[in-house]
Amino acid sequence: MNTTANKKSKTDGLTQELSRLIGKENVLHILEDRICYSYDGSKQKYLPDVVVRPQSTQHVSTILQFAHEHEIPAYPRGAGSGLTGGAVPLRGGIVLDFTQMNRIVEIIPEDLTATVEPGVVTQTLQSEVAKHKLFYPPDPASAPFSTIGGNVAECSGGITGLKYGVTRDYILSLEVVLADGSIIHTGRKTLKSVTGYDLTRLFVGSEGTLGVFTQITVKLLPLPEKIETLLVFFATPQDAVKSASQIIFNNLLPRALEFIDKSSITCIKGYNQEIQIPAEVNALLLIDIDGRESSVKTEASLIEKIVLENRALKVIPAKSHKERDALWEVRRAISPALYNIAPYKINEDICVPRSRILEILDRIADIHKRYPSLKVASFGHIGDGNIHVNVMYDKGEQQKALAEKMIEEILRNTVEVGGTISGEHGIGNVKSAFLSLEIPPGELKIMKDIKQLLDPKGILNPGKMFR
Ligand SMILES: Cc1cc2nc3c(=O)[nH]c(=O)nc-3n(C[C@H](O)[C@H](O)[C@H](O)COP(=O)(O)OP(=O)(O)OC[C@H]3O[C@@H](n4cnc5c(N)ncnc54)[C@H](O)[C@@H]3O)c2cc1C
């Protein structure tokens, strides 16, 4: 039998078995459907043999029991917005699409908790809890479409990270289906619990390689009364970085503290006609301050004073909700606007100690001198030391190879200054070759031993995290 026929009979066999187990309405097998699940935000393509859309924890358990028994690879998937290939079915097999398990099970304002299924879209959770004047702070830029399950698996962060932390800081307990189909519960729905090892933290950020989440309990905060936004122009990136440090050094903790460099500014110039950025501006800070109305006003004026002392050229406060949205729209426009510079890009999400930000930016500028045909734009959550370094290149294998070489140098330098190769997007298969740059052999062995213990047959998201 030829390979195409083999693949078809594999799909047919799996479809038959899985339809029997969880109902044919929850199994997708035609090519057009499978193509839709063959890629994610990393733009790689690997066709799954079959896609299942579980409706319950029991469905997930049944699917994994079957996959385990027959040693078939299984890949949990939320919205497929991951940037490191976490959801791509690298070795064929079964994709578990969680978008049908999207119920908000309960919101308990008295306990400041919510329990959700993994397919709930992040922004849906944010707006549902806001109806109770509550706040779910983790805020990846993908919040309008990414799922809580994907956020937990990647330990996603966002613009609120400096003040409020990342996804891991809000996960209280998890219902997890293990590779063999057994169901476990980690943590408690309490704000505190130190009983036993912290299995919840082990699963957060595990990128679908250790277990599959079917229910997630998150911690909530009271919704801040007021948010004020400032856009600040600087002549040099050094002034912007120093201002950011000074703001934090003065015990102020903005909700967001975003840095935008000259190349990124060039891309977004003219994006919003109301926001004119003069030619002498070589760096921007975009700052959100939140809290009670009175304290927000005081903090905003203190921050204005600090940036002006650090040679800010101009401070533009948003005077209305509409103006605030317009300022943030400029920030959100950067990523797509970078394609104005070159048709291809590699987007890195390095994170360094805040005290080393200027050093890593200088090192990146030095590295760039050795790759004059490539373009570099950096922006990101400077408050957390998390910089999105974008290396852009033109079509052609040679350009791509150069960009990859430059990225490797940037990652090596990041680790040298005490940073991490991924602050937000995870490892997946895109960065697995670089894991050992940061994780020493002893620690890597512990990680692999944990994987072996929880998934001895290696069926959960194979080829991710480790090579
Ligand atoms: C425009 C854009 C902006 C982005 N901005 C940010 C940002 O600001 N911050 C940030 O951190 N990331 C960002 N990302 C990356 C991405 O959105 C996040 O990694 C997000 O958490 C992925 O969620 P998802 O639902 O799309 O998951 P997917 O991409 O479907 O999956 C991601 C990983 O989660 C695993 N997974 C999914 N569901 C489950 C489950 N139920 N149980 C176990 N594992 C599961 C998958 O196997 C995979 O390894 C951005 C992406 C895009 C395209």
CB-side neighbour CA atoms (13 Å) of 147: 26
Q: Looking at residue 268, what is its pLDDT?
A: 82
Cα-based distances in Å from 178 to 66, 381, 402: 12, 34, 41
pTM (two decimals): 0.96
Please say whether the beta carbons of 162 and 254 come within 8 A. yes
For residues 215 and 177, what is the distance between their CA atoms, to the nearest angstrom? 10
Q: What are the CB-based long-range contacts (under 8 Å, 24+) for 405-408?
A: 405/371, 406/367, 406/368, 406/370, 406/371, 406/374, 407/346, 407/348, 408/434
* Burial environment of residue 367 by CB neighbours within 10 A (0 to 12, 13 to 18, 19 or more): buried
Cα 146 to middle of ligand 1, angstroms: 6
183's CB contacts (< 8 A; 6+ apart) are 57, 61, 175, 176, 177, 214
Task: Give which of 242, 171, 249, 246 is closest to 213, Cα–Cα.
Answer: 171
User: What confidence category does residue 356 fall into, taking pLDDT thresholds of 50, 70 and 90?
Assistant: very high
Query: CATH 3.30.43.10 spans which residues of the chain?
Result: 3-99
**Per-residue model confidence as pLDDT tens digits over 319-331:** 898 989 888 888 8
Cα distance between residue 364 and residue 407, in whole Å: 10
Phi, psi (rounded to 5 degrees) for 122: -55, -45
Q: At what angle do helices 293-309 and 237-249 cross, to 10 degrees?
A: 140
Domain 224-334 has CATH 3.60.70.12: no
CA atoms of 148 and 217, how far apart (whole Å): 10
Start and end residues for every CATH 3.30.465.10 domain found in the chain: 102-222
Give the mutation target among 142, 155, 214 for probing the ligand 1 site: most ligand atoms within 8 A of CB.
142
Ligand 1 probe mutation, 43, 81, 432, most atoms within 8 A of CB: 81
**How far, in Å, are 113, 152, 191, 408 from residue 218 at the CA level?**
6, 10, 10, 36
Instruction: Please give the mean pLDDT across all residues of the chain.
Output: 95
Q: Residues 87, 40: contact at Cβ < 8 Å?
A: yes
Q: Which CATH number fits domain 3-99: 3.40.50.2000, 3.30.43.10, 2.60.120.1440, 3.90.800.10?
A: 3.30.43.10
Is residue 4 pLDDT above 60, yes or no?
yes
Over residues 199-235, the pLDDT tens digits come to 999 999 999 999 999 999 999 999 999 999 999 999 9
pLDDT value, residue 15: 97
Name the helix (H) or strand (E) containing 451.
Answer: helix 441-454
The whole-number pLDDT of residue 271 equals 67
pLDDT at residue 93 greater than cutoff 80? yes
Residues with CB under 6 A from ligand 1: 40-41, 75-83, 86-87, 98, 118, 140-142, 146-147, 149-151, 153-154, 156-158, 207-208, 212-213, 424-425, 461
CA pair distance 255, 167, nearest whole angstrom: 15
Cα 280 to middle of ligand 1, angstroms: 37
Centroid of ligand 1 to alpha carbon of 4 (angstroms): 31
Query: Domain 102-222, what architecture?
Result: 2-Layer Sandwich (3.30)
* One-letter amino acid of 377: A
- 212 C-alpha to ligand 1 centroid (Å): 14
Distance CA 431, CA 424 (A): 12
Q: How far is the CA of 306 from the centre of ligand 1 (A)?
A: 36
Give the pLDDT confidence score for residue 257 in this predicted structure.
Answer: 96
- State the pLDDT confidence band at 311, using cuts at 50, 70 and 90: very high
Residue-level pLDDT at 39:
97
Residue with tokens 């009175």: 294
CA distances 277 to 232, 239, 312, Å, are 10, 17, 13
Which percentage of the chain shows pLDDT scores above 70?
Answer: 99
Q: How many CB atoms lie within 10 A of CB 253?
A: 15
| Cα 115 to middle of ligand 1, angstroms | 19
Read off the pLDDT of residues 24-72 as tens digits, 9 standing for 90 and up: 999 999 999 999 999 999 999 999 999 999 999 999 999 999 999 999 9
Can you read off the two tokens belonging to residue 306? Answer: 């600090």
Kindly give the number of the ligand 1 atom that is closest to the alpha carbon of 101: 41
CATH 3.30.70.2190 in the chain, residue ranges = 224-334
Quick: pLDDT tens for 140-172: 999 999 999 999 999 999 999 999 999 999 999
- Work out which ligand 1 atom sits closest to the CA atom of 166: 11
Ligand 1 pocket check: which of 39, 122, 154, 168 to mutate, most ligand atoms within 8 Å of Cβ? Answer: 154
Domain covering 341-454: architecture? 2-Layer Sandwich (3.30)
Atom number of ligand 1 nearest to Cα 75:
47
How much is the pLDDT for 270?
65
**Mean pLDDT of the region 91-115:** 98
Band of pLDDT at residue 336, cut at 50, 70 and 90: confident
Instruction: State in Å: Cα 281 to ligand 1 middle.
Output: 34
For residue 159 the two structure tokens come to: 């613009």
CA of 147 to the centre of ligand 1 (A): 7
Across the range 348-360, mean pLDDT stands at: 94
Residues of the chain with CATH 3.30.70.2740: 341-454
Long-range CB contacts for residues 42-47, cutoff 8 Å, separation at least 24 = 42/82, 42/83, 42/84, 42/85, 42/88, 42/428, 42/430, 44/85, 44/88, 44/429, 44/430, 45/88, 46/88, 46/89, 46/90, 46/91, 46/92, 47/89, 47/92
pLDDT digits (tens, 9 = 90+) for 392-435: 999 889 999 999 999 999 999 999 999 999 999 999 999 999 99
Tell me the backbone φ, ψ of residue 360, rounded to 5 degrees. Answer: -70, -35
Minimum CA distance residue for ligand 1 atom 4 = 142
Q: What is the pLDDT of residues 236-287, one digit of tens each?
A: 999 999 999 999 999 999 999 999 999 899 888 766 666 788 999 999 999 9
